[in-house]
């Protein structure tokens, strides 16, 4: 018995510390170092989660006002406020109990794409089925709050009634307002009947993640001298079906050569084993280096997280460049350092633009020096590349050194500095650096680089 | 917030909103004689109904509508003010119309969930404020004769609350279905309406049931709130002690660890004893009430000039200096008391306060004062035989101290007959006091946790007849009431019994557990108030201290610190410093005056020092063993090299190797770096090479290094 109780307690504790997953909030932001999680913070999170799960907006205000009225009324019965307080409590209590008794458990499904472009709208399709013997009334579909970067501009879907055994569909329009990778709340269909204060329902099925790509305007051209350089390991990494290394000639067999490369005819002709020799392909490989250095947000910016125009412009520009290069058989190496360092090679057959966009969707600002995160090996590797496109957010000595290092290594470099609309160009900026206004980039006014 | 809306407003939703808003408007109109508010609300709703197209939900429209509501409220308040006399605690004549006008403004927007929720919340809050009335007195003839008294008002309020509560779910349901995507005709409407009606009826029954047991609910709610505050409040001690009322219905919880919290520290040579707090005169339904309305303002005595910041107040003439004692009373941090806790015989106090008031019962209240600075009471060196002197000059008016509620008299008469059995009618008050104390000590016993029955009659009667066990408040209250019945003027007093002196210290402490209640009876022969201690010995705080030696040392350190701060604030900076050093001297004397203690302390310190030195030496040897004895000798050449680098302007960080320093030196003084390079190479070979060098090798290297470093100062393009 004691063991069973202990197991139950352990499971309860585990469930508590997992956090309210149905809300789509990862508990990790609330996790401190060494695995410690504050039970108070988690408790507040659970309280919030249960309040948004079960209380309508009106219900939440109603309950708060009821509590206030009760608190005030209980100081003295001479005031008639207790009559109102008791009536309000009666309504809430009956709504909770009657709602639980009368609410059928619906089967639901939400159809939603996995990826969207920022600014785009999409219609979410909900399928509902009422397998119970009770009529579902005032069904609110998908009522849990969505992450801040997503919005349902036309509101949530509501079905007045769903008879027993009936199937129904509903829809809502979702709008992606910020790029990012979002974890959506669980799909639910709740009934607010009878008083629309308290909701009962159950979780349904459906996709729980949504990646919002950065919005970008396709470029018509990039002024970049493309050159080919020998790439160690080269073509094998980027070969498609039908591609091969270039034949260089034949030579005598040496120990260790691949037997599959024996050239039988030459062997027959000269009498000694001869093998074919190949040369590695010269590739057109471009590095796309994205700067993420941003000043640390100040107090309310930390909370409100307003749109960071320069960073969004840089990410949008990076997406546009990647799109342009990927169409032209370049191999693109993406480097983006933020709190996490992203390094990805795409293009030709190595990957798809979607993969690069997936990464760009997740790029976050870095409040320290992002280029400090690049290791020496990465810098060396960039130096082996034919050309590099730098998308910078500021200009300083470290960036100047890095670009000079690349130039000295023979890499043709193009540098673009994105500044805020109200910002001014830094002093001593080399003439080769093109300055772009973040607002112009976001407005799609930058059609070529 | 800028979604264009094209659908006209739903008349049904608007109608239900109007019903919800007119309920509080009606109540407010009656309470505040404000038909103008009702007129404005009606006008606003009418305009909203005519204005079929909802306003765009933009920031600008929200700001404008809010401003319109504010202007309407201010305009009404200036031009046609409502009556504010009936509202209790908060200015309802301002808040209620404001909330109503804001809610009316909300009806101009599309009835989305948030807007409807806002209207509902504002209506409920307006109803709460409109009902913030405790009596109908003090008003002009009413403009609208809807109600005459509180009973009528309760009835009107109940009707309004009921209508409002019924309309809210209907509004929410209609507003939610307004955005339905199902275009088919709605099925099962009748069944749904029936269920809704039944639910509303059940809710009404629940509300009625709660209304019937409102008194019990109120009491339970207050108990829960009080226990919650007591348990989780930040200032735990603030609400646990005496107030202007004493509730005998409460259950005194058994002592816990928290009750050992120190609330007062008293530094004096005499035992402080009973420190009086509040004194209470009137008793009714288990509650003592203190009347401090007649407290007189004491004038401060002429004080010393200069840095002294405290003032001196006298409540009666002090004893001569050679027979008086100063009690330095320092409340612990976190403990607050509205009254000054003083011995009954204290005649004068020194306190940093703007004013001090003295009640006829001898209770002293300080105006704004700093509890951290404490206060000093001057009292006779030896406690007097009486608890508190009688009224100075004129005789005592005994009437307030002889009041016994009429409903209590029959039950108490029987008990009094038993308690005073055999005592002649003209017996002196001392005899009556002794008889009561004797009676209570023999018939009742002290116990915490006794719970009074809510329907079992007055707690004192329950205590004396049914339970015969209880805590000190019940003993004191019983003694006071029995003596009053006997004709002896008596009052009920609460405070602390401060008799505990922790071991090894010179001060006294009072803890939460030392809070106590007793009675004071007036002896008309001597003209003094006698202390009546009716609680058995088990319930009286005693002088046995359970503090450990370490605990009392900590406590005395706290006192030293607190007293030093107090003295500084009182202006005795020099005295504070002196007492600080005196405290240190006292500590040292305490520790070293006793030969055994001194030996033990000195021995312990010597052992500690030896242990530290031994550990350091062991670590040192371990490092030598790890590194090798010869390599250990390389420390000296390394230090020489570091000094040379420093002289050349290259400072070593903790993690820098000599090779790092050389590289840095090469950028500024290349010739010197070139000269030092072979020496450093040799050092590295000796220090990190595969073979352990011999001590002789190291010594030779050091000699070579010294001679190299002693060489001529290198020119900028030369060597060392």
Q: pLDDT at position B528, please? A: 86
Q: Can you point out the beta strands (E) in A253-362?
A: 274-279, 282-283, 285-290, 331-337, 341-347
Please report, to the nearest 10 degrees, the dihedral formed by the alpha carbons of residues B664, B670, B674, B679 taken in order.
-40
Q: For the domain that residue B473 is a member of, what is the CATH number?
A: 3.10.620.30
A200-215 pLDDT per residue, tens: 998 888 878 899 999 8
Which candidate, B566, B628, B527, places its Cα nearest to that of B308? B566
In chain A, the N- to C-terminal Cα span, in Å, equals 73
Thinking of the domain A283-442, which architecture would CATH place it in? Answer: 3-Layer(aba) Sandwich (3.40)
Question: Which residues, 6 or more positions from B543, have their beta carbon under 8 angstroms from its beta carbon?
Answer: B271, B499, B500, B501
Q: pLDDT at position A374, please? A: 63
Q: Is B196 on the interface with A (CB under 8 A)?
A: yes
- Contact yes or no for A249/A199 (Cβ under 8 A): no
What is the CA B268 to chain-centroid distance, rounded? 29
**A58 contacts on B by Cβ (under 8 Å):** 113, 116-117, 120-121, 172
Please check the confidence at residue A246 and state whether its pLDDT lies above 70.
Answer: no
**Rounded mean pLDDT of B46-60?**
90
Please check the confidence at residue A33 and state whether its pLDDT lies above 70.
Answer: no
Q: pLDDT at position A407, please? A: 80
Q: pLDDT at position B309, please? A: 72
Please check the confidence at residue A244 and state whether its pLDDT lies above 60.
Answer: no
Q: Are residues B171 and B47 in the same domain?
A: yes
Across B164-168, B232-236, B240-244, which has the greatest mean pLDDT? B164-168
Q: Are residues B531 and B649 in the same domain?
A: no
The enclosing H or E element of B461 equals helix B459-461
Q: Is A412 on the interface with B (CB under 8 A)?
A: no
Last residue of a domain, one of B493, B517, B549: B549
Is the torsion defined by CA of B85, B91, B97, B100 positive or negative?
A: negative
**A168 contacts on B by Cβ (under 8 Å):** 182
A173-199 pLDDT per residue, tens: 999 989 988 989 999 999 998 899 999
A55-64 pLDDT per residue, tens: 999 999 999 9
Instruction: Give the tokens for residue B530.
Output: 């006698």
| Subunit contact A194:B158, Cβ cutoff 8 A | no
Q: What is the DSSP letter of B250?
A: S
Task: Check residues A343 and B122 and name the one with the higher pLDDT.
Answer: B122
Q: Is residue B358 part of a domain?
A: no
Q: Is residue B16 part of a domain?
A: yes
Burial B703-712 (b: 16+ CB within 10 A, else e): eebeebbeee
Confidence at A157, pLDDT banded by 50, 70, 90: confident
Please check the confidence at residue B50 and state whether its pLDDT lies above 70.
Answer: yes
Strands A107-111 vs A205-206: parallel, antiparallel or unpaired: parallel
Task: Indicate the average pLDDT of chain B.
Answer: 84
Q: pLDDT at position B2, please? A: 42
Instruction: Count CB-CB contacts under 10 A for residue B297.
Output: 11
Nearest CA in chain B to A156: B179
Instruction: Count CB-CB contacts under 10 A for residue B130.
Output: 32
B405-453 pLDDT per residue, tens: 888 888 889 899 998 888 888 888 889 999 999 999 889 999 888 888 8
Which residue segment(s) compose the domain that B470 sits in?
Answer: 399-549
Q: Are residues B72 and B202 in the same domain?
A: yes
Cis? peptide before B475, omega within 30° of 0: no
Q: How far away is chain A from the Cα of B113, in angstroms, using its nearest Cα?
A: 7
Last residue of a domain, one of B549, B569, B600: B549
**Rounded mean pLDDT of A354-361?**
85
Confidence at A82, pLDDT banded by 50, 70, 90: very high
What phi and psi, each to the nearest 5 degrees, are found at residue B55?
-70, 150
Instruction: Count CB-CB contacts under 10 A for residue B121.
Output: 21
Q: If you count residue pairs, one on A and one on B, with CB atoms under 8 Å apart, how many are there?
A: 185
- Contact yes or no for B146/B31 (Cβ under 8 A): no
What is the C-alpha to C-alpha distance for residues B77 and A437, in angstroms, rounded to an integer? Answer: 53
Instruction: Give the tokens for residue B719.
Output: 């060597």
- Contact yes or no for A249/A191 (Cβ under 8 A): no
Confidence at B240, pLDDT banded by 50, 70, 90: very low
Last residue of a domain, one of B505, B526, B549: B549
Q: pLDDT at position A376, please? A: 65
SS3 B589: helix
Which candidate, B421, B441, B416, places its Cα nearest to that of B533? B441
Give the start-to-end residue ranges of the domains of chain A: 107-213, 246-279, 283-442
B133-154 pLDDT per residue, tens: 877 764 555 555 667 777 888 8
Confidence at B120, pLDDT banded by 50, 70, 90: very high
Task: Indicate the average pLDDT of chain A.
Answer: 82
Q: Is A56 on the interface with B (CB under 8 A)?
A: yes
Which region holds residue A191: left if phi is over 0, alpha if psi is between -120 and 50, else beta?
beta
What is the C-alpha to C-alpha distance for residues B438 and B419, in angstroms, rounded to an integer? Answer: 8
* Edge-first strand listing for the sheet containing B356-358: B296-298, B356-358, B364-366
Q: pLDDT at position A322, please? A: 83
Q: pLDDT at position A352, please? A: 64
Please check the confidence at residue B89 and state whether its pLDDT lies above 60.
Answer: yes
Pick the CATH number of A107-213 from 2.40.128.110, 1.25.40.10, 1.10.760.10, 2.60.40.10: 2.60.40.10
Q: Is residue B15 part of a domain?
A: yes
**Rounded mean pLDDT of B351-364?**
86
Q: Are residues B525 and B433 in the same domain?
A: yes
Q: pLDDT at position A105, please? A: 84
Task: Check residues A99 and A282 and name the one with the higher pLDDT.
Answer: A99
Chain B contacts in chain A segment 81-110 (CB below 8 A): 81-84, 86-91, 93-95, 98, 102
What phi and psi, each to the nearest 5 degrees, are found at residue A110?
-120, 125
Q: Are residues B638 and B504 in the same domain?
A: no
Please check the confidence at residue A447 and state whether its pLDDT lies above 60.
Answer: yes
B592-639 pLDDT per residue, tens: 888 888 899 899 999 999 999 999 998 888 877 777 778 888 888 888
B471-482 pLDDT per residue, tens: 999 999 999 999
Q: Is residue B514 part of a domain?
A: yes
Q: Is residue B596 part of a domain?
A: no
How many domains does the structure of chain B reveal?
3
Q: pLDDT at position B313, please? A: 86
The enclosing H or E element of B329 equals strand B324-331
B524-557 pLDDT per residue, tens: 888 889 999 999 988 888 888 877 777 888 888 8
Please report, to the nearest 10 degrees, the dihedral formed by the alpha carbons of residues A266, A268, A274, A276 taken in order.
40
* Edge-first strand listing for the sheet containing A205-206: A150-151, A167-176, A121-129, A107-111, A205-206
What is the C-alpha to C-alpha distance for residues B577 and B584, in angstroms, rounded to an integer? Answer: 11
Which candidate, B168, B105, B102, places its Cα nearest to that of B129? B102
Q: Is A171 on the interface with B (CB under 8 A)?
A: yes
- Contact yes or no for A369/A293 (Cβ under 8 A): yes
**Rounded mean pLDDT of A384-391?**
80
% of chain B surpassing 90 pLDDT: 27
Please check the confidence at residue B714 and state whether its pLDDT lies above 60.
Answer: no
% of chain B surpassing 70 pLDDT: 92
What phi and psi, each to the nearest 5 degrees, are found at residue A85?
-60, -45
Distance (Å) of CA B297 to CA B346, B358, B598: 17, 6, 54
Q: Are residues B673 and B533 in the same domain?
A: no
Q: Are residues B418 and B510 in the same domain?
A: yes
Q: Are residues B540 and B633 in the same domain?
A: no
What is the C-alpha to C-alpha distance for residues B478 and B242, in angstroms, rounded to an integer? Answer: 19
Please check the confidence at residue B357 and state whether its pLDDT lies above 70.
Answer: yes
Q: pLDDT at position A129, please? A: 92
Task: Check residues A376 and B480 and name the one with the higher pLDDT.
Answer: B480
Q: Is residue B360 part of a domain?
A: no
What is the C-alpha to C-alpha distance for residues A403 and A401, in angstroms, rounded to an integer? Answer: 5
SS3 A249: strand
Nearest CA in chain A to B155: A80
Q: How far away is chain B from the Cα of A90, in angstroms, using its nearest Cα?
A: 5
**A87 contacts on B by Cβ (under 8 Å):** 161-162, 165, 203-204, 207
């Amino acid at each position: 018995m004691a063991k069973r109780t202990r197991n139950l307690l352990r499971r309860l504790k585990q469930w508590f510390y997992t956090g309210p997953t149905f809300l789509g909030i990862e508990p990790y932001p609330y996790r401190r170092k060494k695995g410690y999680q504050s039970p108070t913070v988690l408790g507040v999170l659970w309280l919030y989660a249960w309040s948004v799960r079960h209380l309508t907006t009106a219900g939440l205000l109603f309950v708060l006002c009821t509590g206030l009225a009760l608190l005030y009324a209980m100081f003295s019965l001479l005031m008639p406020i207790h009559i109102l307080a008791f009536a309000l409590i009666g309504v809430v209590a009956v709504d909770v109990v009657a709602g639980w008794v009368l609410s059928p458990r619906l089967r639901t499904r939400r159809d939603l794409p996995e990826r969207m472009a920022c600014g785009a709208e999409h219609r979410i399709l909900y399928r509902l089925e009422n397998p119970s013997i009770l009529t579902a009334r005032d069904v609110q579909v998908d009522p849990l709050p969505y992450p801040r970067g997503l919005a349902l501009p036309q509101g949530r879907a509501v079905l007045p009634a769903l008879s027993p055994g009936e199937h129904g569909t509903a829809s809502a329009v979702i709008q992606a307002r910020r790029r990012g990778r979002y974890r959506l709340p669980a799909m639910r269909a709740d009934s607010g009947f009878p008083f629309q204060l308290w909701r009962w329902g159950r979780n349904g099925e459906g996709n729980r993640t949504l990646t919002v790509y950065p919005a970008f305007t396709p470029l018509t051209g990039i002024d970049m001298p493309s050159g080919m350089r020998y790439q160690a390991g080269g073509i094998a990494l980027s070969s498609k079906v039908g591609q091969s290394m270039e034949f260089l000639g034949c030579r005598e067999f040496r120990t260790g050569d691949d037997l599959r490369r024996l050239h039988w005819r030459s062997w027959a002709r000269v009498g000694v084993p001869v093998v074919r020799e190949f040369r590695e392909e010269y590739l057109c490989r471009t590095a796309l280096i994205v700067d993420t250095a941003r000043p640390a947000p100040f107090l309310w910016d930390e909370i409100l997280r307003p749109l960071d125009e320069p960073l969004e412009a840089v990410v949008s520009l990076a997406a546009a460049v990647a799109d342009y290069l990927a169409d032209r058989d370049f191999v693109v190496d993406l480097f983006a350092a933020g709190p996490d360092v992203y390094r990805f090679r795409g293009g030709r057959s190595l990957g798809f633009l979607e993969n690069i966009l997936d990464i760009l969707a997740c790029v976050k600002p870095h409040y320290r020096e992002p280029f400090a995160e690049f290791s020496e090996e990465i810098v060396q590797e960039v130096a082996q590349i034919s050309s590099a496109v730098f998308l910078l957010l500021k200009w300083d000595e470290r960036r100047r050194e890095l670009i000079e290092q690349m130039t000295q290594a023979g890499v043709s470099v193009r540098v673009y500095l994105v500044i805020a609309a109200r910002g001014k160009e830094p002093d001593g900026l080399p003439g080769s650096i093109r300055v772009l206004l973040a607002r112009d980039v976001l407005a799609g006014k930058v059609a070529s680089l | 917030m800028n979604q264009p809306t094209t659908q006209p407003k739903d008349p049904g939703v608007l109608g239900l909103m109007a019903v919800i808003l007119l309920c509080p408007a009606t109540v407010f109109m009656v309470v505040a004689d404000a038909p103008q508010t009702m007129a404005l609300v009606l006008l606003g709703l009418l305009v909203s109904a005519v204005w079929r197209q909802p306003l765009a939900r933009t920031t600008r429209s929200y700001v404008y509508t809010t401003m319109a509501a504010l202007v309407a409220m201010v305009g009404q308040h200036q031009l046609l003010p409502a009556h504010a006399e009936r509202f209790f605690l908060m200015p309802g004549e301002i808040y209620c119309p404001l909330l109503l006008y804001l809610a009316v403004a909300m009806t101009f927007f599309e009835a989305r969930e948030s807007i409807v929720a806002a209207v509902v919340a504002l209506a409920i809050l307006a109803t709460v404020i409109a009902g913030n009335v405790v009596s109908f007195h003090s008003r002009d003839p009413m403009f609208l004769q809807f109600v005459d008294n509180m009973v009528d008002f309760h009835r009107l309020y109940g009707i309004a609350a009921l209508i409002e509560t019924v309309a809210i779910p209907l509004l929410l349901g209609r507003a939610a279905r307004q955005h339905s995507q199902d275009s088919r005709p709605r099925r099962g409407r009748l069944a749904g309406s029936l269920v809704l009606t039944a639910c509303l009826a059940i809710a009404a029954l629940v509300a009625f049931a709660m209304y019937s047991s409102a008194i019990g609910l109120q009491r339970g709610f207050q108990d829960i709130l009080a226990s919650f505050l007591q348990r989780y409040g930040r200032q735990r001690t603030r609400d646990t002690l005496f107030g202007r009322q004493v509730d005998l219905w409460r259950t005194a919880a058994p002592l816990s660890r928290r009750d050992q919290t120190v609330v007062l520290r008293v530094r004096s040579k005499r035992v402080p004893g009973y420190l009086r707090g509040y004194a209470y005169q009137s008793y009714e339904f288990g509650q003592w009430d203190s009347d401090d309305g007649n407290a007189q303002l004491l004038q401060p005595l002429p004080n010393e000039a200069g840095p002294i910041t405290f003032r001196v107040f006298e409540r009666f003439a002090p004893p001569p200096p050679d027979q008086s004692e100063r009690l330095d009373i320092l409340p612990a941090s976190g403990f607050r008391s509205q009254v000054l806790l003083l011995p009954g015989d204290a005649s004068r106090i020194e306190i940093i306060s703007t004013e001090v008031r003295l009640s006829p019962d001898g209770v002293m209240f300080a105006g704004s004062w700093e509890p951290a600075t404490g206060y000093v009471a001057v009292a006779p060196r030896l406690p007097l035989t009486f608890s508190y002197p009688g009224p100075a000059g004129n005789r005592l008016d005994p009437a307030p101290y002889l009041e016994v509620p009429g409903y209590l008299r029959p039950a108490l008469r029987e008990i009094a007959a038993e308690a005073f059995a055999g005592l002649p009618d003209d017996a002196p008050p001392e005899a009556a006091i002794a008889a009561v104390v004797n009676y209570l000590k023999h018939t009742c016993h002290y116990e915490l946790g006794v719970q009074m029955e809510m329907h079992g009659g007055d707690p004192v009667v329950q205590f004396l007849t049914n339970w015969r066990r209880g805590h000190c408040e019940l003993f004191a209250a019983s003694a006071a009431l029995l003596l009053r019945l006997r004709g002896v003027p008596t009052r009920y007093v609460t405070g602390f019994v401060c008799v505990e002196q922790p071991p090894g210290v010179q001060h006294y402490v009072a803890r939460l557990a030392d809070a106590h209640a007793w009675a004071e009876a007036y002896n008309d022969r001597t003209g003094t108030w006698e202390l009546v201690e009716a609680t058995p010995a088990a319930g009286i705080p005693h002088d046995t201290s359970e503090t450990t030696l370490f605990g009392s040392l900590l406590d005395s350190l706290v006192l030293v610190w607190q007293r030093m701060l107090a003295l500084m604030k009182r202006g005795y900076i020099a005295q504070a410093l002196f007492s600080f050093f005196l405290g240190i001297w006292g500590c040292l004397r305490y520790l070293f005056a006793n030969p055994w203690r001194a030996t033990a302390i000195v021995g312990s310190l010597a052992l500690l020092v030896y242990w530290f030195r031994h550990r350091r030496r062991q670590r040192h040897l371990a490092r030598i063993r790890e590194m090798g004895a010869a390599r250990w000798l390389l420390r000296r050449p390394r230090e020489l090299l570091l000094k040379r680098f420093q002289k050349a302007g290259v400072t070593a960080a903790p993690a820098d190797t000599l090779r790092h320093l050389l590289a840095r030196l090469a950028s500024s003084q290349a010739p010197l770096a070139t000269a030092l390079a072979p020496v450093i190479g040799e050092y590295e070979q000796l220090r990190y090479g595969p073979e352990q060098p011999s001590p002789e090798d190291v010594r030779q290297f050091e000699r070579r290094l010294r001679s190299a470093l002693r060489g001529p100062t290198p020119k900028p393009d030369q060597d060392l």
